[in-house]
Amino acid sequence: MRLILLGPPGAGKGTQAQRLVDKYGIPQLSTGDMLRAAVKAGTPVGLKAKAVMEAGELVSDAIVNAIVAERFDQPDCANGFILDGYPRTLAQADAVQAMLSERHAELDAVIELVVDDKILLQRIAERAEKAKAAGQPVRKDDDPTIAPERLREYYKKTAPLTGYYYAKGMLESLDGMADVDTVTAAIEGILGKVVKAA
């Protein structure tokens, strides 16, 4: 199963991806998590990405494509993966297509979580509050001064991907405002059809 979860920051992609990991036994590939790990470890990629991420902007396609290509070749991706937060630009969407073709693999589904912008900013603020209350570090880009920039980046650069995948006949859009279990059930309904058709 090779799946892309699309949707703006705070749409619930990460939460849903984690649930699918357990059910399908395939890894969640979150480029945000990979980049945060690189920043924490102080790798060359991390050093380049840090300021861009903290400003709520997108890291360059070249950097992100390279880390994903490397990840695809790890053994746990042999049976598939859930892409969470990647691709985020049309160039990344072309790159993922090329990476899969090289590996004689195909995407099974692209699922978009559709959410209300005002709620997104609220959810991001809540995530920051929860982390703070739990004594965990708060993501700099969850700060209310930065989160709107992430949303702008989404509309400028990522939203066109829905048209890209729609044109390929692959896009399935779901109401991401529904409660978490309802969204999971809807995703599983789509994936059930994909598995049966394969």
Binding mask 130-159 for ligand AMP (x = CB under 6 A): -----------x--------x---------
CA distances from 168 to 82, 184, 186 (A): 19, 24, 21
> Of the two residues 144 and 189, which places its CB atom closer to ligand AMP in the complex?
144
Q: Are the C-beta atoms of residues 173 and 114 closer than 8 Å to each other? A: yes
Among 17-25, 83-91, 172-180, 186-194, which window interacts with ligand AMP (CB under 6 A)?
A: 83-91
Q: Give the active site residue among 19, 36, 71, 127.
A: 127
- Encoded tokens for 40: 């924490």
19 is catalytic: no
| 35: contact with ligand AMP by CB under 6 A | yes
Measured at the CA of 143, the angle between CA 138 and CA 149, to 5 degrees, comes to 135
82 DSSP β-pair partners: 3, 28
Q: Which residues contact 44 (CB under 8 A, 6 or more apart)?
A: none
Q: What is the rounded distance in angstroms from the CA atom of residue 194 to the CA atom of residue 174?
A: 16
Size of the residue set binding ligand AMP (CB under 6 A): 17
Among 50-58, 104-112, 169-177, 190-198, which window interacts with ligand AMP (CB under 6 A)?
A: 50-58
Among 37-45, 86-94, 116-124, 162-170, which window interacts with ligand AMP (CB under 6 A)?
A: 86-94
Parallel, antiparallel or unpaired: strands 28-30 and 2-6? unpaired
Least distance CB 91 / ligand AMP (angstroms): 10
Q: Are the C-beta atoms of residues 26 and 1 closer than 8 Å to each other? A: yes
Q: Is 171 helix (H, G, I), strand (E, B) or coil?
A: strand
193 is catalytic: no
Q: Tell me the torsion sign for CA atoms 84, 16, 11, 193.
A: positive
Figure out which of the listed residues 58, 110, 128, 187 binds ligand AMP, where binding follows CB under 6 A: 58
152 is catalytic: no
Please give the residue ranges that form the binding site for ligand AMP (CB under 6 A). 9, 31-32, 35, 52-53, 56-59, 64, 85-86, 88, 92, 141, 150
Q: Catalytic site residues?
A: 13, 88, 127, 139, 150
